[in-house]
Chain A
């Protein structure tokens, strides 16, 4: 018999509780257990404590999980586990694609005067149907219109999106190919885009690409037919835009909150990275040289036209 059981009368309250706890939990030897129970029977105070202690034992409540059937499996059900390297590889591939674009844009800007452009551009496919692209000029500052400010008015410079100017488009010889009514100047188009045109361009992506690529350039949220119809690409767009946006002609470093916009844009593009296909074509037949970047995922199809300004105009 242990000392504490032998001297149970001399124990303080805490020690008595520990002893009865061990009795309750079955931690005592048979001898100690019998002696403790005998002491409990003989002492009213100890007996009351023992009764109270016994009431602390929890009994299971009749709680039933009613969705068991959803958890049941068939023997033949396959387990699809994505390898640990697959997800990072996909993200890395997207980042690499953007890095190539950034590097390419820089190379292009710095070697604009050269007739032969080395580097990544030599491998880019040239656009073979220049007539499908509208003739576009660099838009002077006085021909752009500032869009209304955010209604909440509480955006801090770090959080507000990069400033966007509405593009005052030029007259075109291809009716139905453009998003801006030439007669209406820089008037904003209705929110619902023409279903005959593919205009499923995430605005944020259209803004992000030029920010990523660097300095003075223009992106038009334009999608051309080229055999791709909404019926042929039945997935829902993340965002639709009937607008043509013209980024303010300032270096990207001057944009407040540019990092935020950039991250949002990258996230919008990288998030549905599954089955993403990025196609870049160089547009040589434009007055402004640039790229046509197609981002096709299982969720949307986006095209950003990136126009670059000549080096001597920067």
Chain B
């Protein structure tokens, strides 16, 4: 990968990496650091990574970085405990998409990662598995559970409203 290609990756993919990290970490400063660390690693290994695999490489690095940070701050455990029937609706929403975005942040890490990579980045199950270390079946189940949670979240919210 040349410097020009690397810069193309920065232009095209840094927004997505930043969104991915921000959704996981909910902290802009930490998310920006993840983006910087991720691209730093790409630059160091630019001779071994080509343009075709750069996106998956970046998301994999970013994902691992996020998980490490969440583990350090003990946030993973709390997120894993989220139960689909125990969500609350105390926020004010302007549209359904905002509700869904809020609901996504309540998802367990594995489900959140899988559904975000699927919908935001358009990855298939196999690619998501390569990034996250899950099997294709696990990816599919996680996406299904995420959609099920989001559907029920919306349904419950509409019932309250």
Contacts and interface: CB of A to CB of B under 8 A. Distances in A.
Contacts of B120: 58, 60
Contact of A65 (B3, B32, B100, B148): B32
Interface stretch (A67-75, A99-107, A225-233): A67-75
A79 B11 CA distance: 21
User: Main SS of the interface on chain A?
Assistant: loop
Contact of B22 (A53, A63, A79, A81): A63
Nearest to B144: A21
B154 A61 contact: no
B135 interface: no
Interface in B102-161: 104, 115-116, 119-120, 143-144, 146-148, 150-151, 154-155
Nearest to A57: B119
A71 B36 contact: yes
A49 B25 CA distance: 32
Contacts of B6: 73
Contact residues on A (Cβ < 8 Å of other chain), bracket: 20 to 34
A17 B115 CA distance: 16
Contacts of B43: 73, 79
A81 B100 CA distance: 44
Contacts of A53: 147, 151
A57 B154 CA distance: 12
Contact of B14 (A18, A24, A71): A71
B155 to A, nearest CB: 6
Given A71-B10, A71-B14, A71-B39, A58 B116 contact: yes
A77 B3 contact: yes
User: Main SS of the interface on chain B?
Assistant: helix
Contacts of B3: 73-75, 77
B111 to A, nearest CB: 11
B35 interface: yes
A73 B14 CA distance: 14
Contacts of B22: 63
A72 B15 CA distance: 14
Contacts of A59: 97, 119
A63 B35 CA distance: 13
A81 B16 CA distance: 28
25 contacts: A21-B144, A24-B147, A25-B143, A52-B154, A53-B147, A55-B100, A55-B154, A58-B116, A58-B119, A59-B119, A64-B18, A65-B14, A65-B18, A65-B32, A65-B35, A67-B32, A68-B10, A71-B10, A71-B35, A71-B39, A72-B10, A74-B3, A75-B2, A75-B4, A79-B44
Given A53-B147, A65-B15, A73-B3, 6 more contacts: A55-B150, A61-B101, A71-B35, A72-B7, A73-B43, A75-B3
